[in-house]
């Protein structure tokens, strides 16, 4: 069985990437509490599986899963700790990119005053010219989790590079 280089992806890896990306984008664009819960659960299950893989796989695979866990859990934890009331005040570039994306992708929905006659207006009073910004918090949360998956994958690949360099420096040219 030949070893795959770090630049080749298996069919399974590509299927996981497509599935996670689809779940994340659906959770962002459809913005329902249920879809957000599905994506949060998938993220937690993915990170916990990565932890098991880090424990039980040898060599470069172990390095990948350790990097995946550290970067994924690290980013998801830090993005949750740095939450602010105003997303534009956040020091995270990813949060500002998500805010910009939200303004371009999600359009305010004008509400029909006949169906909702008494809604708070923008000026603090009540009036018919109200627009609803659909589920902004869910969009931002799903986007941060999607960024977490991306950073986890980058962390895994960086860990493999570091692992292989450490083998080369020690002169062990073999991987287990």
Q: What percent of the chain has pLDDT over 70?
A: 72
pLDDT surpasses 80 at 115: no
Mean pLDDT score, 73-85: 78
Q: What does the pLDDT read at residue 55?
A: 94
18: its two tokens: 């497509």
Domain boundaries, the chain: 11-106+134-170
Q: What does the pLDDT read at residue 56?
A: 95
**How much is the mean pLDDT over the chain?**
79
State the pLDDT confidence band at 50, using cuts at 50, 70 and 90. very high
- Poorest-pLDDT segment among 10-19, 129-138, 149-158: 129-138
pLDDT surpasses 90 at 51: yes
State the pLDDT confidence band at 2, using cuts at 50, 70 and 90. very low
């Amino acid at each position: 069985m030949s070893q795959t280089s770090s630049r080749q992806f298996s069919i399974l890896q590509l299927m996981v990437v497509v599935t996670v990306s689809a779940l994340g984008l659906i959770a962002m664009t459809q913005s329902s509490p249920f879809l957000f819960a599905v994506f949060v659960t998938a993220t937690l299950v993915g990170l916990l599986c990565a932890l098991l893989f880090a424990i039980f796989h040898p060599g470069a695979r172990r390095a990948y899963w350790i990097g995946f866990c550290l970067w994924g859990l690290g980013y998801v934890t830090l993005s949750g700790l740095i939450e602010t009331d105003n997303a534009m005040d956040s020091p995270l570039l990813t949060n500002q990119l998500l805010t910009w994306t939200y303004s371009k992708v999600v359009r305010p929905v004008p509400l029909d005053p006949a169906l909702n006659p008494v809604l708070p207006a923008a000026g603090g009073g009540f009036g018919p010219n109200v627009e609803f910004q659909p589920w902004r918090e869910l969009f931002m949360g799903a986007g941060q989790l999607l960024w977490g998956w991306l950073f986890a994958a980058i962390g895994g690949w960086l860990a493999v590079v570091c692992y292989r360099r450490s083998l080369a420096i020690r002169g062990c040219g073999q991987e287990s």
